[in-house]
Structure 1
């Protein structure tokens, strides 16, 4: 199933030719599809895509009441209700949260939701993450993220050449921010336009997933294409609310605050003719049932499925020799 486009009138999915789609296979080492458990996610994504078209047709400010009626009706459809009812908030809580997010929505350059349609898409598709990991413990504070034994230090791995992806940290000082700004002025397209990671920590299974994707991406793109670039990993709930206050579309609850979600850069790779290749790899993993993918514009949100956890933990231990 393809991810809905962020333009309400477009066909869902990335701009990949039909022939390219039919030739894609599941990534190496994966079953063709992990065993299904719980609601039908293909039906859910299809129903969300249909809802987005209708939301796009009611984009005017005068259509607020009509949008609410539409949300009330569509969220009760069996394909959508089955997923939302399986989240910790339940169907009623998810509906109220979505309506509140829509009422508060204000477009701004920091917000990955370019319009109300994108906001609804991001919220509803990210509920799959929350359903999957409803029993996981949230990292509430920055201290919990930095002190958790369930997370590994990416910098320690990077220095030992054990990562197949790149990232950059947020500058911690005024001087560091000034240096970053000067580099961006001198070479504006040398790196993605992202604030960088506040926490350079990740779950072992997520590292294995990103290394798998990084190797496949490098093998499927022309020489000179930069490696896979990660813009966000684990976040604390404390930091999630901090982002919301700054105007970002940081959903609550979030797979990031459970440690199972990441954001990967997409638009920057269009400069190298590699965006569609990366989209194809991510969607192949989604079709195999290993991840959930949400198009957030410049970046795509990727959350690991519980069914893939054991395989990726074994892959991490084999790769790191532990």
Structure 2
């Protein structure tokens, strides 16, 4: 069983593909038949071994030569060529990310190997959704008709997963901090959602995984926990300035990616169970998974959207 990647911590300002305004009318997802993703993931895994062997500060030039050579290999180039930046743009962005990388407490990229892994595996997301347009601003996220309000669904008991929102006031942040001190492990240690909105297909996916997780775990296990959903590019840059791992382009800014809590479920002995469920879905081609340590990044594949849209409408009685 191949374990996916961990995430990076970046500084602001990498060369990213320009965020595109949302076009009028529906956007067609990329074709289902594309590069061999198993071969791509295997090639990335081999590259990571070599990056790890060149981890020292004195190996900067050698790492650059390695990246130049390995990204041009057919299995890797086939994916990167099909992203909005193309092979050359992806290479330049990765090298800049590596040059600017500095580990910090907020970043889930514990080292350069993790940085390279998260970047390259997350390119599957942007290859899949290369024709989708970015949610550029917070306002676009709040007002998009393509997204639904999770709180409306939660109050009607239509969600099979949990989340928490970011406190909006000083009082709210104080209450959150007090609760963590008094009851430190009752919920995951996460900042919470800035946007409690999601695509309908993503809601159906999370409900599906949530039900499967309940069926596979002992009674009393907490439900699936979502730590991040859709983000605007504006917010993605804010996260970068704060030192968080926030790649650009990102499946989050397209509305098709989510982050799921993993580490906290180790307290209940079910982390590996959840990991297995996610990796099984990746093997079927339904999702792309990237191990980011505390949370795993999950992006929905275009080929699964039609089924999940039907599932959402059936669940909601539409």
Output the TM-score relative to the length of structure 1.
0.90
Aligned partners of 2:208, 2:245: CA distance in 1, in Å?
A: 28
Change (3 A) 1:36 1:238: closer
Match of 2:70 in 1: 74
Where do 1:25-104 residues align within 5 Å? 37-104=33-100
- 2:208 is matched with which residue: 198, 207, 212? 212
Distance in 2 between the 1:107 and 1:256 partners? 22
Helix, strand or coil: the match of 2:44? Answer: helix
Instruction: Give a deviation string over 1:86-109, Cα, whole Å, max 9, x none.
Output: 000000000000000000101001
CA distance in 1, matches of 2:133, 2:155: 30
* Over 6 Å off, 4+ runs: none
SS at match of 1:189: coil
Offset at residue 223 of structure 1 (A):
1.1
Q: 1:43 to 1:219 in 2, by over 3 A?
A: same
After superposition, where does 1:161-172 map in structure 2 within 5 Å? 161-172=157-168
Paired residues of 2:108 and 2:245 also in contact (CA < 8 A): yes
Find out whether 1:179 has 2:167 as its counterpart.
Answer: no
Match of 1:9 in 2: none
Question: How far apart are 1:166 and its partner, in Å?
Answer: 0.2
SS across alignment from 1:240: helix
- How far the C-alpha of 1:5 sits from its partner, in A, is 5.9
Q: Paired residue for 2:313?
A: 317
Structure 2 matches for 1:129-168, cutoff 5 A?
Answer: 129-168=125-164
Count of matched residue positions in the alignment of Structure 1 and Structure 2: 294
Distance 2:262 2:46 in 1: 24
Match of 2:286 in 1: 290
Aligned partner of 1:122 in structure 2 is 118
Q: How does 1:271-310 map to 2 (within 5 A)?
A: 271-310=267-306
| Unaligned segments of structure 2, at least 5 residues | 7-30
Residue 43 (structure 1) shift: 0.1
2:162 touches 2:223 (CA, 8 Å); kept in 1?
A: yes
* Counterpart in the other structure of 1:2: 2
- Check conservation: 2:262, 2:296, Cα contact below 8 A: yes
Cα RMSD after superposing both structures: 1.0
